[in-house]
Chain A
């Protein structure tokens, strides 16, 4: 299992993604975007999955792989 953080263009995008994860049998936690991820203060979803290949959302801004304190950006739609 890997841990990911996904940021979104809107708060609603994050809510919708959280529900999408639930439908996929995964659990995600909505939380404020951590400072080390971005200087903006939106909503992100932290979740665990085997891989990110099935992860899709029109509202997805950026997707990070979390490894302890380290973050690796996997995708960016900015």
Chain B
């Protein structure tokens, strides 16, 4: 009961912070988006040339550091790793491809639903299908192998990378790229964003908040504890969006005075690809053992396997923009649609190969 209560409170706070970040300058329905923000960071350090999505997002730095600090205080910090790192890199890469086809990680999917964006409900359906396919393999014996204890340096390395990014952002911003237009140019004050990340990172570490884990536990064990966080985020964020005039129910926001369709914020209406993009994200996340947010938190706790998955997402994001895989408000791209199918096949291959043939 206590766990459920903490998740409801924690999820509610995350939902409220997401609303606040939008009010303070972040793109709409994007108070938080792990996929978009890692993509922005990849752009900010010049890994890709999409000028509208370049900014070293302090939220991500805060998430990792917040999880690290709390884990250290609460004695949860435990350097672990060695469970199929390169496979996890590929899965992280694939999760990013799926997320940028849909235009959001599972957390942003929840925030988009809370903004009334019905395209995200289509995404949720695909996400659930991806999770069910992942669970099928889990039940059949899927495992990426056990993790082993690592030394302290290995455990602290991801936090170190993020601190280094923060130092560059604060002290040497001229080294970085900053979008002048588009989503990358829409940002809350740097220090507020960092603080928001720290708080959400701490909450997520304490509660184990995870978009994938919640749905997985419901299906596997009929356990509704973890999914409470997911539901609380949607409810509180929806209330906040209604209160601030940012709630628009529909696949689009209707027509403007000139009769043109107003799209939902950073979203497209290609249902099949919204669905399949999130199927890839759901499947990949179950195989990784957690959604992109959870990977960041685990990386902060010292899990270098999750850190590798995050690096896979980072490189994946750069590929998505360099090879025109990422969608935009105008819709998906031919390259993106091919990549989505390829990643789905790759993930199914990884899942099948790592599923034990021996019977239990």
Contacts and interface: CB of A to CB of B under 8 A. Distances in A.
Interface residues of B, number: 35
Given A32-B213, A61-B146, 10 more contacts: A9-B146, A11-B138, A11-B142, A11-B143, A15-B141, A19-B360, A39-B78, A40-B298, A41-B294, A78-B78
A12 B141 contact: yes
A10 interface: yes
A4 B322 CA distance: 52
B217 interface: yes
B360 A34 contact: no
B221 A10 contact: no
A66 B207 CA distance: 21
Interface string A18-42: 0100000000001110110001111
Contacts, number: 61
Given A39-B301, A41-B213, A41-B290, A12 B360 contact: yes
Given A11-B138, A19-B360, A39 B143 contact: no
B289 A78 contact: no
Contacts of A12: 138, 140-143, 356, 360
B143 A9 contact: yes
Interface of A: 9-13, 15-16, 19, 30-32, 34-35, 39-43, 59, 61, 78
A35 B221 contact: no
A12 to B, nearest CB: 4
Interface of B: 3, 6, 71, 74, 76, 78, 80, 138-143, 145-147, 149, 205, 207-208, 210, 213, 217, 220-221, 223, 225-226, 289-290, 294, 298, 301, 356, 360
A19 B141 CA distance: 13
A41 B217 CA distance: 10
Given A10-B146, A12-B143, A39-B76, A32 B217 contact: yes
Contacts of A11: 138-139, 142-143
A70 B123 CA distance: 42
A12 B217 CA distance: 15
B147 A39 contact: no
B208 A41 contact: yes
24 contacts: A9-B143, A9-B145, A10-B143, A10-B145, A11-B139, A11-B143, A12-B140, A15-B141, A19-B360, A31-B221, A32-B213, A32-B221, A32-B225, A32-B226, A34-B3, A35-B6, A39-B76, A39-B205, A40-B298, A41-B289, A42-B289, A43-B220, A78-B78, A78-B149
A70 to B, nearest CB: 15
Nearest to A33: B208
Contacts of A39: 71, 74, 76, 78, 205, 208, 301
Which of the listed residues A34, A42, A59, A78 has the most CB atoms from chain B within 10 Å of its own CB?
A: A78
